Amino acid sequence: MQIAWIGTGIMGAPMARRLLRAGHQVTAFNRTRARAQALAADGAAVADSPAQAARAAEVVFTMVPDTPDVEQVVDQIAPVLKQGTLVIDMSTIAPASARRLAQRVAEKKADFLDAPVSGGEPGAIEGTLTIMVGGEREAFERARPLLDQLGQRITYMGGAGSGQMTKLVNQIAVAVNLEAAVEAMLLATRGGLDPALVLEAIGAGAAGSWQLNNLGPKIIARDYRPGFLIKLLRKDLRLLNEAARETTTPLPALSLVTALLEAASAQGHDADGTQALAAVLAAMAGAR
Amino acid sequence: MQIAWIGTGIMGAPMARRLLRAGHQVTAFNRTRARAQALAADGAAVADSPAQAARAAEVVFTMVPDTPDVEQVVDQIAPVLKQGTLVIDMSTIAPASARRLAQRVAEKKADFLDAPVSGGEPGAIEGTLTIMVGGEREAFERARPLLDQLGQRITYMGGAGSGQMTKLVNQIAVAVNLEAAVEAMLLATRGGLDPALVLEAIGAGAAGSWQLNNLGPKIIARDYRPGFLIKLLRKDLRLLNEAARETTTPLPALSLVTALLEAASAQGHDADGTQALAAVLAAMAGAR
C-alpha cells in the first residue's frame, strides 16, 4: 500500500519502520529532515513537505507532538487529498480538535480517524501498542490491517474524537496511579522499610498497577531516564483538563497531580521520565 | 497444633476454618458469640473469653477491627501466655502500636508477629491472601506453615511493626488507584464513551491496575455491594495519616482521597464497598 508518514520522532520512526518491513511503500516527512532520512535505509522515500508525501498516498499517518501540529499538517495536505484517502492521526490531541479535523477531511470526501496510542517507545518498536480509535466504522475496518502491524489491543471506540477521549481517560489512570506509586515508595522509605521488598510484597495484590510495578523499581533507584517524558505527560494533562472543563467533570486527584507535575517542570524535570515526579515529593519531604 | 483464634468476622471466620480443615485444633472466641459458634460445625471449640481460648494454645491469632481491640485482647491473654507462645495479629493496626504489643508480649517470653493481610473475603476463603509480616525472623519461620494455609504471597518485612507499615503503604496505592479508577470512569461517561469499552481498551496497558480492572465494572454498574467497606478503608487511612505525621511524610493524593472518603461516609456509604467512592464524584458532578 502507498503510505505517507508525517512525524518520525521517538514513536513515529519505529512505527513507520514496521509498515516498511511489512512490505508497504512509505514516503516519510519530518520537520527535522535528518530524522526522516534515517528511515531511507529501511526503504522509505523522504519528502520535502507533508503535501509531497501525501500526494500519491492511499493512507496518511500523522504522529506529531500536539494539536496545532496536526492541524498544520492537515492544512498542508488538504489540497492533495483525494476521495477515499484515509488520514490516521496517532498523536494525542484534543478530542474537540479531532472532531473538527474529521469534518475538515470529510469535506474532501476523504476519511479521518483519531487513533492515539499507549505503550511508549517499546510498544512502538515491538508493535504492541494499545490503539484507541474514533471515526467512521467503515474507515476503521479499512485501517485495521495497518493498525494490526502497529498494535496489539486495538479498540474501535465510536465516532470522531472518541479515540482521543479514551486516551485522555487512559492518562487519568496513568497520572494518578503514578502519584500513588510515588507516595507509596516515599512512605515505604520513610517508614523504615526496604522499598524493593515492599514492591515484592504488594505488587500482585489490590495495590498493584502497571505504574507501580514498572516505575516502582526506577523510583527506588532514582533512575529518571525516560520512558515517557514529564513534558509530554504535562501536555496530555493540559488536554485532559480542557476536556474536563468542557464536560464539567470534576477530577480532583487529576487536578492535584497536574499541580505536582508543574512542580516537576519547575524543578527542571521536563526531559526526565514521568517517574521523576518522585523527586518533587522527595523535595517536599526535605530529602535531597 | 493447638490454636486460639480471636475474632471470627468476615475475614477471621474463613481463615480459622482453613486451619480447622488443615487438621489443627482451634478454640475460637468472638465478642458476638454466635459468630464463633458457627465454626463449631467445622470442629472448633468455642471459648467464653480470649484468655480461656488462649490458655492451652501454642499459637494465638487475632483478627479484630482496630488498634484498641487488639490491645484489649493482648491485655486479656497476657496472664495466660507461656514462654514460646506465638501471638500473630492479622488485624490492620498502627505500626507504633504493633511495636508496643511486641514488647509487651516479649515480657512474657512469648513472641508477637504483626501480620496484616490484603485480599479481602475471597482471599480469606481461598487462602490466597497477601500477608506482610513484622517481628523476629525466628518467630516468622515458626509461623510460616500456618500462614501458608492462609495466604499465597507471604513476605517477611523486618522487625516489629514493619508488617503493619507495609500494609499502610499498600493502602496508599489501594485508595489512590481507586480514586483514579473512579475519575477515569466518570470522564469516560461524561465524555460520551461506553465506559465498559474503555475498560476493555485501557485495562491491560499503562493505565491498568487491580482497582480499575476489578472495581471498574462495579463502578459502571453502580453496584456498591462490598467487597471491602468504605468504613474500613477510612479506618486504614486514619492509621495511614497518623503514620505519615509521625514520619513527616507528605502524601498529598492520599490526603485528598481521605477527604473524599469522609464525604462518602457523610453521604451514607460507610457500609458500602469502596467503589461507592464513585457516588461522591457523581454527586459532585451533579449526577443522581
> Is the Cβ pair B253, A256 closer than 8 Å?
yes
Dihedral Cα B32, B36, B41, B44, nearest 10 deg = -150
The whole-angstrom distance between B141's CA and the closest CA on chain A is: 17
Cα R_g (chain B), whole angstroms: 20
Contact with chain A for residue B215, Cβ under 8 A: no
pLDDT > 80? residue B217: yes
d(C-alpha A135, C-alpha A133), whole Å? 7
- Whether residues B250 and A284 touch (CB distance < 8 A) is answered with yes
What pLDDT, on the 0 to 100 scale, is given for residue A227?
87
Q: Which of A95, A244, A245 is closest to A157 using CA atoms?
A: A95
The minimum CA-CA distance between B53 and chain A, rounded to whole Å, is 31
Predicted complex ipTM = 0.96
**A22 interface with B at CB cutoff 8 Å:** no
Residue among B120, B212, B244 minimizing CB distance to A173: B212
Q: Which residues of A touch B11 (CB under 8 A)?
A: none
Question: pLDDT tens across B40-62, in order?
Answer: 999 999 999 999 999 999 999 99
pLDDT at B181 (0 to 100): 98
DSSP assignment of B84-109: T-EEEE-S---HHHHHHHHHHHHTTT
Find the helix packing angle between B95-106 and B230-246, rounded to 10°.
80
Looking at the fold, whether A199 and A121 belong to one and the same domain comes out as no
Do A144 and A256 lie in a common domain? no
- Please pick, among B82, B167, B218, B235, the residue that the annotation labels catalytic: B167
pLDDT at B188 over 80: yes
Give the strand pairing for B59-62 and B86-89. Answer: parallel
Say whether both B151 and B191 belong to one domain: no
- Three-state DSSP at B253 gives helix
Question: Does the annotation mark B167 as catalytic?
Answer: yes
Q: Are residues B229 and B86 in the same domain?
A: no
Determine the 3-state secondary structure of A159 from DSSP: coil
Q: For B226-241, give the DSSP string.
A: -SSBHHHHHHHHHHHH
Q: How far is residue A55's CA from residue A81's CA, in Å, rounded to a whole number?
A: 7
Q: CA neighbours within 13 Å on the CB side: how many for B66?
A: 11
CA B19: distance to chain centroid? 18
Query: Looking at residue A194, which CATH number applies to its domain?
Result: 1.10.1040.10
Checking if the pLDDT of B288 tops 70, the result is no
Give yes or no: residues B37 and B179 share one domain. no
Measured in residues, chain B has a length of 288
Q: How far is A30 from chain B (nearest CA, A)?
A: 28
Say if B8 is an interface residue toward chain A (CB within 8 Å). Answer: no
Burial class (CB in 10 A: 0-12, 13-18, 19+), B41: exposed
Q: What is the mean predicted confidence (pLDDT) over B11-20?
A: 98
Percentage of chain B modeled with pLDDT above 70: 100
Give B287's pLDDT tier (boundaries 50, 70, 90). Answer: confident
Write the CB contacts of A98 (distance below 8 Å, at least 6 apart in sequence). A89, A112, A114, A134, A160, A161, A163, A164
Query: By the CB < 8 Å criterion, does A283 face chain B?
Result: no
Same domain, B63 and B192: no
- Say how many domains are in chain B: 2
Query: CA distances (Å), B132 to each of A59, A121, A187, B155, in order?
Result: 54, 35, 16, 5
Cα–Cα distance between A248 and B187 in angstroms, integer? 9
Q: How far away is chain B from the Cα of A116, in angstroms, using its nearest Cα?
A: 12
**pLDDT range class, residue B266, cuts 50, 70, 90:** very high
Q: Which of A121, A182, A249, A262 to mutate to test the interface with B (most CBs of B within 10 A)?
A: A249
Closest Cα partner for B223 from B186, B144, B276?
A: B276
Q: With CB atoms and an 8 Å threshold, state whether A162 touches B192.
A: yes
Closest residue, chain A, to B193 (C-alpha): A162
How much is the mean pLDDT over chain B? 97
* DSSP string for A160-229: TTHHHHHHHHHHHHHHHHHHHHHHHHHHHHHTT--HHHHHHHHTTTTT-BHHHHHHHHHHHHT----SSB
Predicted TM-score of the model (pTM): 0.96
Residues A157 and A132: beta-carbon distance below 8 Å: yes
Residue A147's domain comprises 2-159
Domain boundary among B105, B129, B159: B159
- SS3 state of residue B39: coil
**Alpha-carbon span A140 to B266, nearest angstrom:** 46
Subunit contact B210:A208, Cβ cutoff 8 A: yes
Q: Which residues face A273 on adjacent strands? A: A229
Task: Verify that B42 and B70 share a domain, yes or no.
Answer: yes
Q: How far is Cα A83 from Cα A108, in angstroms, rounded to an integer?
A: 6
Angle at CA of residue B133, ends B100 and B8, nearest 5°: 80
Q: Which three cell numbers stand for residue A186?
A: 516515599
Give the closest residue to B175 by CA, choosing from A278, A237, A250, A176.
A176
Looking at the structure, tell me whether residues A151 and A19 fall in a common domain: yes
Q: Are residues A145 and A222 in the same domain?
A: no
Three cell numbers written together for B101: 504489643
Is residue A31 classed as helix, strand or coil in its secondary structure? coil
Give yes or no: residues A23 and A53 share one domain: yes
- What average pLDDT does this structure show over B226-255? 97
Residue B199 and residue B148 in one domain = no
Rounded Cα distance, A39 and A25, in Å: 12
Counting as low any pLDDT under 70, the low residues of chain A are: 288
The closest of A66, A46, A65 to A4, measured between CA atoms, is A46
| Same domain flag for B149 and B184 | no
Domain end among A159, A187, A207: A159
Q: B34: pLDDT confidence band, cut at 50, 70 and 90?
A: very high
Quote the pLDDT of residue A288. 53
Query: Domain with B111 in it: what CATH number?
Result: 3.40.50.720
Last residue of a domain, one of A159, A190, A221: A159
Q: Which contiguous run of DSSP H or E holds residue A244?
A: helix A230-246
